[in-house]
Chain A
Amino acid sequence: MVNPSDVYTFGIALVTLILAVFWLLIFIDINNERKGEGTQRTKKTGKLRTVAVLIPTLAEGGELRKTVNTALASDYPKELFKIYIVLNKSSPAITRSIAYSLRSGRVKVIEAPMNGKAAVMNYALKNFIREELLLVLDADTLINRDLMHKLVMQFKSKKVGGVVSSVKVYKPRNIIEYLQSYEYMLSIMARKAMSVLGGLMVAHGAGSMFSTGIIKKVGYFDEKNYTEDIEMGLRLLVNGYLVENAIDAVSYTIVPNTLKGLVRQRLRWFSGFFVNILKYRKRIMETKHRVLGLIIVPMSLVSISLGIVVVIGLVYYSVSLAVYLYTLALNTSLSYAFSSSFQLSPFSLNTIYMLLIVLTAIGLSSLFYSLRSVNGSLDAFKDTIGILIYSIFYSFFLSFVWLASLIMLSIRREAVGWGTPT
């Protein structure tokens, strides 16, 4: 008779195998692309285009100065790009003061008469920006000198609506920031995979470049959406445009350094993901790029669902175990309860568990080498521990937040503003 727990374990082993193969392929592809880009560096990409660096800001302080300075330090021809700092209506005096202190011939300050990131960006686009390409930077994003060049290079056809950079965590200090740094590295590879398939749907606001003309054609940024970056990526795809990925175009962002801040940010992002998928559900299936509707979106939803199912299962199992241990300890002793419940014996090892262990080891190894190819270098000891902690704890934490965002959306359906399905 088939044991349900063996079926469950076999399922996990199969998923682990698929992930191990997936990461290996990504690793190989990233390395091939790096070699290819190295040989193509001298090839001309055609005429360089004008770039508007758009920095919407609300209440950033010193970070804004750093962001502008890294943009000014870019090796892109100075006459071909201009920086636009867009202030919200309710930006505080100190932010205004810093913004105006940065004003120069190459840095323009715009005072938007409204609040909201998407709204102020649209205001700048409609009234001030004439450049061909638009680089959106959050006011706490730092970019490498060659980012602009590398992003511009990806606009190889008129179909390219946006190009996404590789965003990493800026100087992580505590464990929360370090775990996010692994998450960001994994996201770089996930975006790489999606762009290879032709279904990259997230154009993050920390260093994504867009074709200004195409942005205008598809109707500017959605001002009612609090994850306008995800929404724009999807909107470009369903309108038949491409979103590319420049893996070597690196930007850095400052991430939440507290658990509370992290949870709030992730709730917003994850809720935004669901809202946007629902908003475009019909268009996703109709789009000519079938990859989005048949592979990318279903895979994303399946992996999120699996994570939620595993988390629910873990919670149920943990609670059951805790109740059992408590009852046993109450009637016997604490040490006996633990020793009888957690007996490690080689006899409990069967083929399925052995397969799971081996595949997990392969998966973690290929993940490690893939992350190294993205990051350039990894500390063998420190980052192995970090990746293990990430895999064991942080990934489950994210699944909890996915579940929480789903529940939050279900409860607050009307308050979120679902918009009209398009």
Chain B
Amino acid sequence: MAIILVVFIAGYFFQNYKVSSISSELQMYQQSLEQLQLSASLAGQNSTVACAILKSDLSQVAGQVQTLSNQVQEADLTGSQQYDNLVAEFMYERIDYWLLGQRIADQCRGNMTTVLFFYNPINCNACVLEGNELSFLGQNYTDLVVSAVDGSFNMPLISILNNMYNLSPAKYPAIIINSKYVVEGFQNTTQIKDDLCAYTNISGFCK
């Protein structure tokens, strides 16, 4: 009994540690995003050097997003108020990241593509698979900015996005290319590439 009690107490403290760790990671990410937004504001339109720097910074932020996303997913402290608040905050930041990416893509005019991926974390194996494939593409092609949103999350901003693109959880997974083009249903890597090349021209995999 004593051992079980110790484990539960340790579990409680570890839970708090996870929340505080995610919280500080989120703060760092928010700072990086704010810096990048400022940089984007300062850079001129279509400045080659500035665009190269912005793309590079965006890639670094993408890495932070991925790390944070893994931590949030693995922590899985649903039911804890602090955790739920962190998840909501992280969701906002992911949309912010996508908007910033779109802004930089517009500023830099071409050769950058944004993808907003809508998924449902519950009972959607296709979402898991497509999410991993998009992550793979995002890691291997720096001109591709990928952000993911839990479309079933109870948040006004997500409801607005769903309405804007006429989406619902029944249609997930779905991707929005360059804020304009909607592709519903599961797409494997080849199909995603084909979709991206149909609407954009990413160097590296579009012929």
Establish whether residues B11 and A1, one from each chain, have CB atoms under 8 Å apart when the complex forms.
no
Measured between beta carbons, the chain B residues less than 8 angstroms from A343 are 70, 74
Establish whether residues A351 and B3, one from each chain, have CB atoms under 8 Å apart when the complex forms.
no
Establish whether residues A347 and B10, one from each chain, have CB atoms under 8 Å apart when the complex forms.
no
Measured between beta carbons, the chain B residues less than 8 angstroms from A42 are none
Instruction: Check: B7 CB closer than 8 A to any chain A CB.
Output: yes
Q: Contacts A331-B189, A350-B11 given: A340-B74 contact, CB under 8 Å?
A: no
Measured between beta carbons, the chain A residues less than 8 angstroms from B133 are 328, 331-332
Instruction: Check: B181 CB closer than 8 A to any chain A CB.
Output: no
Instruction: Check: A345 CB closer than 8 A to any chain B CB.
Output: yes
Select which of B4, B18, B188 is within 8 A of A355 by beta carbon: B4
Select which of B3, B7, B75, B125 is within 8 A of A347 by beta carbon: B75
Tell me how many residue pairs across A and B have CB atoms closer than 8 Å.
Answer: 65
Instruction: Check: A333 CB closer than 8 A to any chain B CB.
Output: yes
Measured between beta carbons, the chain B residues less than 8 angstroms from A362 are 3
Distance between Cα atoms of A328 and B134 in the complex (Å): 11
Establish whether residues A351 and B11, one from each chain, have CB atoms under 8 Å apart when the complex forms.
yes
Establish whether residues A328 and B18, one from each chain, have CB atoms under 8 Å apart when the complex forms.
no
Measured between beta carbons, the chain A residues less than 8 angstroms from B8 are 351, 355
Select which of B11, B70, B77 is within 8 A of A354 by beta carbon: B11
Distance between Cα atoms of A358 and B3 in the complex (Å): 8
Among A336-363, those with CB < 8 Å from B are 336-337, 340, 343, 345, 347-351, 354-355, 358, 362
Select which of B15, B75, B136 is within 8 A of A333 by beta carbon: B136
Measured between beta carbons, the chain A residues less than 8 angstroms from B79 are 1
Establish whether residues B190 and A331, one from each chain, have CB atoms under 8 Å apart when the complex forms.
yes
Measured between beta carbons, the chain A residues less than 8 angstroms from B7 are 351, 354-355, 358
Among A349-397, those with CB < 8 Å from B are 349-351, 354-355, 358, 362
Instruction: Check: A100 CB closer than 8 A to any chain B CB.
Output: no
Instruction: Check: B132 CB closer than 8 A to any chain A CB.
Output: yes
Instruction: Check: A324 CB closer than 8 A to any chain B CB.
Output: yes
Establish whether residues B136 and A332, one from each chain, have CB atoms under 8 Å apart when the complex forms.
yes
* Interface size band for B: 20 to 34
Measured between beta carbons, the chain B residues less than 8 angstroms from A1 are 78-79
Minimal Cβ-Cβ distance residue in A for B132: A340
Q: Contacts A331-B188, A331-B189, A347-B71 given: A340-B11 contact, CB under 8 Å?
A: no
Establish whether residues B70 and A345, one from each chain, have CB atoms under 8 Å apart when the complex forms.
yes
Interface 0/1 of B112-141, CB less than 8 Å to A: 000000000000010011001101100000
B119 smallest CB distance to A (angstroms): 15
Minimal Cβ-Cβ distance residue in B for A351: B11
Minimal Cβ-Cβ distance residue in B for A348: B74
Distance between Cα atoms of A343 and B70 in the complex (Å): 9
Residue among A332, A337, A354 with the highest chain B CB neighbour number at 10 A: A332
Establish whether residues B11 and A324, one from each chain, have CB atoms under 8 Å apart when the complex forms.
no
Instruction: Check: A303 CB closer than 8 A to any chain B CB.
Output: no
Distance between Cα atoms of A348 and B71 in the complex (Å): 8
Interface 0/1 of B69-90, CB less than 8 Å to A: 0110011111100000000000
Establish whether residues A350 and B10, one from each chain, have CB atoms under 8 Å apart when the complex forms.
no
Instruction: Check: B12 CB closer than 8 A to any chain A CB.
Output: yes
Establish whether residues A354 and B75, one from each chain, have CB atoms under 8 Å apart when the complex forms.
no
Measured between beta carbons, the chain B residues less than 8 angstroms from A351 are 7-8, 10-12, 14-15
Instruction: Check: A327 CB closer than 8 A to any chain B CB.
Output: yes
**Across the A-B interface, the 6 shortest Cβ-Cβ residue pairs:** A351-B11, A331-B189, A347-B74, A348-B74, A332-B136, A331-B188
Query: What are 10 residue pairs bridging A and B, where the CB atoms are less than 8 Å apart in the complex?
Result: A17-B4, A328-B133, A332-B132, A333-B136, A351-B7, A351-B8, A351-B12, A351-B15, A354-B14, A355-B4
